[in-house]
Chain A
Amino acid sequence: MEKNNNIISAAQIGIIGYFLGNAFFIGMGNISVVSLVKQDAWLAALLAVIIGLLPISILIYIMNYKPDKNILEKNKALFGKILGGLINLILFVYIFFISILIIWSASNYAIIIYLTDTPRIIVILLIVLLVIYAVIKGIETICRTGQILLFITVITIITIATNLWQYSDFYNVKPILKDGIMPMIEGSMLYLSYAFTPLISLLIIPKKTIKDQKKLNKYLIGGFLFSIITMVLVFYVVTSVLTINLVDLYRHPAYYVQKKISITPYFNNVENFFSLHWFLNLFFGVIMSLYFLREYVQYLFKFKNPKHLKVSIIILGLIVAVISNNLFENGTDVFNLIRYHFPYWVAGVLFGILLLICILIFIRKKTEDT
Chain B
Amino acid sequence: MKKIKLFIILIFISLTTGCWNYRELNDLAIVSAIGIDEENGVYNVSVQIMDPAQQGGNTNSSGSSSESTPIDVYEGQGKTILEAISNVLLKQPGDIFLGHVDVVVISDQLARKGIENFIDFLLRDRESRKIFPMVITKNTKASDIIKLITPLELISGKYINSTLEATKKNNGIISNRLFDEVLMCLFVEGREATISSIELIGSPEKGENLDNPSTSIPSTYFQISGSGVFIDDKLVGYFDLKESMGYTYIRNQSESTVISVPCDNEGNYAGIKLEKSSSKLKTTIKDRKPIGEITFDTKAVISEFNCKMDLLKTENIKKMEKITNKELKKLLDNTMISAQKEFKSDVLGFGEYLYKNNYKEWKKYKKNWNETFSNMEYKIKVSTEIRNVGSIIDSLKNSYEGNPNYGKE
The residues of B that contact A242 with a CB separation of less than 8 Å are 180, 184
Q: Are B357 and A175 closer than 8 Å at their CB atoms?
A: yes
Q: Give the Cβ gap from A132 to chain B, nearest Cβ, in Å.
A: 11
Q: Are B188 and A171 closer than 8 Å at their CB atoms?
A: no
Question: Residue of A at shortest CB range from B356?
Answer: A174
Q: Give the Cβ gap from A120 to chain B, nearest Cβ, in Å.
A: 12
Known: A246-B184, A246-B187. A114 touches B18 (CB 8 A): yes
**Complexed CA–CA distance, A243 and B15 (Å):** 38
Known: A115-B20, A249-B123. A259 touches B131 (CB 8 A): yes
The residues of B that contact A122 with a CB separation of less than 8 Å are 15, 20
Q: Are B183 and A246 closer than 8 Å at their CB atoms?
A: yes
**Complexed CA–CA distance, A171 and B183 (Å):** 17
The yes or no answer to B359 lying at the interface (CB within 8 A) is yes
Interface members, chain A 231-252 (any B CB < 8 Å): 242-243, 245-246, 249
State the main secondary structure of chain A at its contact with B. Answer: helix
State the main secondary structure of chain B at its contact with A. Answer: helix
Interface members, chain A 113-148 (any B CB < 8 Å): 113-119, 122, 126, 129
Question: Residue of A at shortest CB range from B99?
Answer: A269
Question: Residue of A at shortest CB range from B123?
Answer: A249
The residues of B that contact A249 with a CB separation of less than 8 Å are 123, 183
Question: Residue of B at shortest CB range from A171?
Answer: B356
Q: Are A115 and B21 closer than 8 Å at their CB atoms?
A: yes
Q: Are A117 and B357 closer than 8 Å at their CB atoms?
A: no
**Complexed CA–CA distance, A249 and B130 (Å):** 13
Question: Residue of B at shortest CB range from A179?
Answer: B359
The residues of B that contact A115 with a CB separation of less than 8 Å are 18, 20-21
The yes or no answer to A366 lying at the interface (CB within 8 A) is no
**Complexed CA–CA distance, A114 and B21 (Å):** 9
Contact pick for B180, options A114, A117, A178, A246, CB 8 Å? A246
The residues of B that contact A174 with a CB separation of less than 8 Å are 356-357
Known: A116-B126, A117-B21, A256-B130. A243 touches B356 (CB 8 A): no
Q: Are B123 and A118 closer than 8 Å at their CB atoms?
A: no
The yes or no answer to A260 lying at the interface (CB within 8 A) is yes
Contact pick for A117, options B20, B184, B187, B359, CB 8 Å? B20
**Complexed CA–CA distance, A118 and B357 (Å):** 47
The residues of A that contact B180 with a CB separation of less than 8 Å are 242, 246, 256
**Complexed CA–CA distance, A171 and B354 (Å):** 12
The residues of A that contact B357 with a CB separation of less than 8 Å are 174-175
Known: A115-B20, A116-B21, A245-B188. A178 touches B183 (CB 8 A): no
Q: Are B20 and A175 closer than 8 Å at their CB atoms?
A: no
The yes or no answer to B43 lying at the interface (CB within 8 A) is no
Interface members, chain B 107-132 (any A CB < 8 Å): 123, 126-127, 129-131
**Complexed CA–CA distance, A340 and B226 (Å):** 47
The yes or no answer to A112 lying at the interface (CB within 8 A) is yes
**Complexed CA–CA distance, A242 and B130 (Å):** 12
The yes or no answer to B12 lying at the interface (CB within 8 A) is yes
Q: Give the Cβ gap from B187 to chain A, nearest Cβ, in Å.
A: 3
Interface members, chain B 121-156 (any A CB < 8 Å): 123, 126-127, 129-131
Q: Are A259 and B129 closer than 8 Å at their CB atoms?
A: yes
Q: Give the Cβ gap from A272 to chain B, nearest Cβ, in Å.
A: 11
Known: A116-B126, A260-B131. A126 touches B16 (CB 8 A): yes
Q: Are A126 and B184 closer than 8 Å at their CB atoms?
A: no
Interface members, chain B 351-408 (any A CB < 8 Å): 355-357, 359
Question: Residue of B at shortest CB range from A114?
Answer: B18
The residues of A that contact B18 with a CB separation of less than 8 Å are 114-115
Q: Are A243 and B21 closer than 8 Å at their CB atoms?
A: no
Q: Are B187 and A245 closer than 8 Å at their CB atoms?
A: yes
The residues of A that contact B131 with a CB separation of less than 8 Å are 259-260
**Complexed CA–CA distance, A174 and B357 (Å):** 7
**Complexed CA–CA distance, A269 and B131 (Å):** 11
Contact pick for A118, options B20, B127, B359, CB 8 Å? B20
Q: Give the Cβ gap from A370 to chain B, nearest Cβ, in Å.
A: 57
List residues of B whose CB falls within 8 A of some A CB.
Answer: 12, 15-16, 18, 20-21, 123, 126-127, 129-131, 180, 183-184, 187-188, 355-357, 359
> A-B pairs with the 3 shortest C-beta distances?
A245-B187, A174-B356, A118-B20
Given contacts A116-B127, A174-B356, 14 further A-B contacts (CB under 8 A): A112-B126, A114-B21, A115-B18, A115-B20, A115-B21, A116-B126, A126-B16, A175-B355, A178-B359, A243-B187, A245-B187, A259-B129, A260-B131, A269-B129
List residues of A whose CB falls within 8 A of some B CB.
Answer: 112-119, 122, 126, 129, 171, 174-175, 178, 242-243, 245-246, 249, 256, 259-260, 269
Can you list 15 contacts pairing A with B, beta carbon distance less than 8 Å?
Answer: A113-B126, A114-B18, A115-B18, A116-B21, A116-B127, A117-B21, A118-B20, A129-B12, A174-B356, A175-B356, A243-B187, A245-B183, A245-B187, A245-B188, A259-B130
